[in-house]
Structure 1
Amino acid sequence: MARPREFDEAAVLDAAMHCFWQRGYEQTSMRDLAGEMGMTSASMYNAFGDKRALYRRALDHYLAQTVRDRIARFAPLPPLAALRGFFTEIVERSVADRQRRGCMLVNSALEVAPHDAGFRRLVAGELEFVEAFFRRCIAAGQQDGTITAHPPAEKLAKLLLSLLLGIRVLARTRPQRAVLDGAAQAALALLQPEPPATVPGHGSDGPPG
């Protein structure tokens, strides 16, 4: 009969997540992890495997708390409100990150994914998940007239994904609200539909009929 685990899995994964998030994959040692997680090396290996396997679990833990939770919360809102809320929260969290850790997913894309096919697929899949959320919001907004009909939703979704990645990278070096919010608002302004053209002689300032 297997012995029950003598630790809180969510708590130790949270500790591992913060350790990797702060130091990065290469700069985090198994000794660092054992100290942060409050486990012996043997217990850690038995529970989670090697460093790569633990990093994967920690990254999944991060994604569940951030990317997937955020999309689940904003998806039910009206399309434009969902996108504005999403980026407002991204800016707020970036500005509040005094340690300048950035986004663990983006950090993984830059540090780990180029050298590891498994993580490359994971990162690509997660970015596609975010892009699909943007695309759904834009398509719905184009349908109800709250978002410009041109360019098509596919192109605008890629623009917003690029904006997201840019903000998260920029926040590592220039986490000023004016910089990050300025970038977000400029891109979101492109989603606004153009006002209807005024027919000469029929405007509000024209002579009475």
Structure 2
Amino acid sequence: MRSASFDKGEVIDSIMRAFWEHGYEATSIQTLEAATGLKRQSLYNAFGNKDAMFELAADRYDLVVSRRLLAALDNDDPRAALSDFFAAQLAVLEDAGQPAGCFVAGGQQELANRADTAIGEKMSALIGVQYSALVAAFERWKEQGALTDDADPQALAGAVMALVRGQSVLGRSQSASDIIARTAKTLPDLFERYYAH
């Protein structure tokens, strides 16, 4: 059996970008053919059906985008970490080489009524990973004394998630680019009351 004559990683990147740009429903097999340069049978043989390709796209987004944002939380200074986190998100939203908005936020909205399907569960899992990472960061900062005693790690993580989703929705509109750029700089200050010093 002859091996595929294409780079699977590059094709998955193209599949990710297609779903990111058009959303799940609007991404047809013709859209995926155009995005990848492959015929449908080659796509199906290599990656499975549309749902399977969407799951691969979600995993790739998690690897190349979400994990990069979450890496900013490793800083032991919560103010600096959140500043880096929101700056990293802004860089993604402002990247002209990427589709507008956020793959996860868009997918979550679009697939809200499919929570019991594999693709719905995939989106819920990605959101869960992000939320858990934020909770862990706030818990660590609190244990280290970098946050006030009354800081609630779960509530603060939820607040960050809400802010990120709001920025992502605004990021879909070209006319909002100035708004999200200025807002991103002020977001870490919203948590000032909980910084211990």
Match of 2:183 among 176, 179, 183: 179
What secondary structure sits across from 2:177 in the alignment?
Answer: coil
In structure 2, C-alpha distance between the alignment counterparts of 1:77 and 1:167, rounded to whole Å? 22
Tell me if the contact between 1:75 and 1:82 (Cα under 8 Å) persists in the aligned partners: yes
Number of residue-to-residue matches in the alignment: 191
- What residue number does 1:142 align with? 142
Task: Give the 4+ runs in structure 1 shifted more than 6 A.
Answer: none
Between 1 and 2, higher relative CO (CA 8 Å, sep ≥ 6) is seen in 2
In structure 2, C-alpha distance between the alignment counterparts of 1:181 and 1:98, rounded to whole Å? 22
What secondary structure sits across from 1:189 in the alignment?
Answer: helix
TM-score with structure 1 setting the length: 0.81
Q: Is 1:114 aligned with 2:125?
A: no
- What residue number does 1:36 align with? 35
In the TM superposition, residue 138 of structure 1 has moved relative to its aligned partner by 1.4
In structure 1, C-alpha distance between the alignment counterparts of 2:34 and 2:141, rounded to whole Å? 49
In structure 1, C-alpha distance between the alignment counterparts of 2:73 and 2:21, rounded to whole Å? 29
What secondary structure sits across from 1:65 in the alignment?
Answer: helix
Letter in structure 2 aligned against 1:65: V
User: Over the residues paired in the alignment, what is the CA RMSD in angstroms?
Assistant: 2.2
Q: Structure 1 pair 13/131, CA: closer, same or farther in 2 (3 Å)?
A: same
- What residue number does 2:75 align with? 77
- What residue number does 1:66 align with? 65
- Larger displacement relative to structure 2 (103-112 or 135-144): 135-144
In the TM superposition, residue 79 of structure 1 has moved relative to its aligned partner by 4.3
Tell me if the contact between 1:91 and 1:180 (Cα under 8 Å) persists in the aligned partners: yes
- Larger displacement relative to structure 2 (90-99 or 172-181): 90-99
Tell me if the contact between 1:134 and 1:157 (Cα under 8 Å) persists in the aligned partners: yes
Q: Is 1:101 aligned with 2:66?
A: no
Q: How does 1:146-185 map to 2 (within 5 A)?
A: 146-173=146-173, 174-176=176-178, 177-182=181-186, 184-185=187-188
| Unaligned residue ranges in structure 1 (runs of 5+) | 196-209
Tell me if the contact between 1:83 and 1:134 (Cα under 8 Å) persists in the aligned partners: no
Structure number with the higher helix fraction is 2
Q: Structure 1 pair 188/90, CA: closer, same or farther in 2 (3 Å)?
A: farther
In structure 2, C-alpha distance between the alignment counterparts of 1:53 and 1:149, rounded to whole Å? 45
Identity level (%): 24
TM-score with structure 2 setting the length: 0.85
- What residue number does 1:16 align with? 15
| Unaligned residue ranges in structure 2 (runs of 5+) | none
